Chain A
């Protein structure tokens, strides 16, 4: 099965390990993973802030870039929701593009949902083992995906991993306060919401926070670290947990270490 990775800009730049883990898990499960190099951003920040002409341009190029693949998988819940919920309407002015957007909307999956709904991933068949106490923040955009009939698969997957002690977050479904530009235009509101989330994370006693959206992850991990004066649970995506539980991570240090100093743009 050919799968294209829509890594999304925040994941690529701030949580690259989540992208690596997604590739490794998908390949382990028999997918042929592709990474279209021209991809940048799905346009969600522009869309949410009301700059719809810009969002439309980015939607159009994303639709074109991902046209060739049967399935598109993203480790970011909000970007999956952006493509699935908003692309067709954004590109409605051009019938051909709209059709392409609708096609992409159907082919685009959030990572956990892809595993369970498309690959029929059965965690018990894989001897998963991950030692530690973890909790999980469900990104709000999973609400939109759940309304389409794709309920969040992550908690059940986490519970199925041997050695992983899963404690649900109190009021898990409450927003962490990220909201894109909201975090900097209403810092007091956003910060207060993030503090609540950090408190809930601390109350679980978990040493790992699982989160499948880079925006929420930046916000919550930053709030946890501020509240903990530099100490915070490790924040990672479901893909990373599974990659580690399958023995696919960590990556051999040397191979990545070689590129550690290479910060020049890649052609």
Chain B
């Protein structure tokens, strides 16, 4: 990594390694090229399908076994806790800041990604840190912290196994919780041979062991640890970090300095609310009752504690970075609801589009899948991510999976409506005209019937002659190639034409036979 002239400058514009490009593409981001590749990559789709389907099935079974009929009430409670906190976020943030400071943590305020990066760099410089171990965190991906630290000369290592492998490969996470669903063991084996000089093995246990030993060597030398936060507890000033691997424990407690980067939506009022949200978080992610390590950090080590970060060594960076824009839009169905998200990844695992898109890279941003499709355009602008709200069949699986009852399909539709109002994206102007004409026909029944009859005549004429059917209602012809934009349909499917007979003619005859012509 070359050393930039201004280490604390606008790092986002610094040349990025290939992998970062995946989550920070040129804007506006259009999905088509990546989708075209992903939908042709059957192996990729299989990796993603296997990973997500298994988790989805286990999630459903786990909730059924744990809560049974009460699941709805528990989700409602979780949603109300998060919503209440967001509705009074100023109050709970103040409380959190006061309590965290009282416990000895240093709280920082970052209006945007650049400010958050700069605060991290300043802390690294002030503590003379040269080696940073970092736990997996979406928010640090969001602010692109790692390249900034590296550019400033702080060697930074991702310690979550999946993220570690992705870092070695110059790749980027493709799932909020399980970042490496798009890769298989052979890719790991090759990366370890190439980057670590390890012997070639495809055995996941041996590969994990290689990473464990390598990372332990780094933990012993590291002087800075960075994590995100799953929750911030207002009444105690605690930071809650959940991991299964235990890597966050090394980043939190094994170095002199610990930096927490947390979005402001992570607040909850009190520790009692953890009893509800933690029960949903791990089950939604991986069908576990709780993550293996659920860590509450309340300030630096106390006077007689043998280990843990020094006095003045715990820093909490509160990040806005567009969140207040969502907060501003409260009320039922407003964007504020999106901030309830606890990043469990259940909606990604439930989503058939996510599977077919080959995982998160197709979404061109840190937050992918259904939640990403509403969160990314909300944080970064609809004009920058015009495709995301449209790349959904609105099947509703995501909304049903969400443990905090975010009605994701409703937000997708809301964003589509906002885009229509903004005249976005350009390519959809033609569609807008078609829909206006279509609506006009539908408001005028005679024209509608004329159009329907014309459509039937044209489509049946275009179609090859069918074999015919004795029942004209079942006498259907098929088209294997439609013209114009409708050709998209017949790329993958045949198109059924209207049958020879139509409903209204039948109804007229039926009415006549039944009542002598009484009309409804």
Contact = CB atoms under 8 A, between A and B. Distances in A.
Tell me, yes or no, whether A and B come into direct contact in the complex with CB atoms closer than 8 A: yes
B492 A260 contact: no
Interface string B441-459: 1110110111011011100
Interface string B493-520: 1111011111111111111000000011
A17 B496 CA distance: 14
B504 A266 contact: yes
A253 B506 contact: no
A114 interface: no
B281 to A, nearest CB: 23
Task: Bin the interface of chain B by size.
Answer: 35 or more
A181 B495 CA distance: 15
A58 B395 contact: no
Interface stretch (A99-107, A155-163, A201-209, A221-229): A221-229
Interface in A157-171: 171
A89 to B, nearest CB: 8
Contacts of A57: 439, 443
B90 to A, nearest CB: 29
B416 A49 contact: yes
A262 interface: yes
B3 interface: no
A17 B456 contact: no
Nearest to B480: A226
Contacts of A183: 488-489
Interface in B437-478: 438-439, 441-443, 445-446, 448-450, 452-453, 455-457, 470-475, 478
Nearest to A175: B395
Contacts, number: 237
B506 A184 contact: no
Contact of A260 (B419, B441, B472): B472
Interface of B is mostly: helix
A40 B504 contact: no
A151 to B, nearest CB: 13
Contact of B420 (A4, A50, A140, A180): A50
A1 interface: no
A87 to B, nearest CB: 14
Contacts of A180: 393-394
Contact of B506 (A58, A140, A171, A256): A256
A54 B439 contact: yes
Contacts of A196: 352
B435 interface: yes
A266 B416 contact: no
B375 interface: no
Interface in B373-404: 389-397, 400
Contact of A191 (B441, B472, B493, B505): B493
Contacts of B111: none
B510 A182 contact: no
A14 B446 CA distance: 18
A177 B357 CA distance: 13
Interface string B323-362: 0000000000100000000000000000011001100000
Given A12-B503, A189-B356, A191-B493, A263 B443 contact: no
B451 to A, nearest CB: 9
Interface in B262-302: none
Given A37-B445, A47-B413, 13 more contacts: A14-B499, A16-B503, A35-B511, A36-B520, A178-B393, A182-B394, A186-B353, A187-B492, A189-B391, A222-B494, A225-B494, A258-B509, A262-B505
22 contacts: A7-B503, A16-B502, A16-B503, A35-B507, A35-B511, A40-B442, A140-B396, A171-B53, A179-B395, A182-B391, A188-B39, A189-B391, A192-B45, A193-B353, A225-B478, A226-B480, A226-B494, A230-B478, A256-B471, A265-B452, A266-B449, A267-B446
Interface of A: 4, 7, 9, 11-14, 16-17, 19-20, 23, 34-41, 43, 45-52, 54, 57-58, 61, 89, 140-141, 143-144, 147, 171, 173-175, 177-196, 218-219, 221-223, 225-226, 230, 250-251, 253, 255-260, 262-267
Interface of B: 35-36, 39, 45, 53, 333, 352-353, 356-357, 389-397, 400, 413, 415-420, 431-432, 435-436, 438-439, 441-443, 445-446, 448-450, 452-453, 455-457, 470-475, 478, 480, 485-486, 488-489, 491-496, 498-511, 519-520
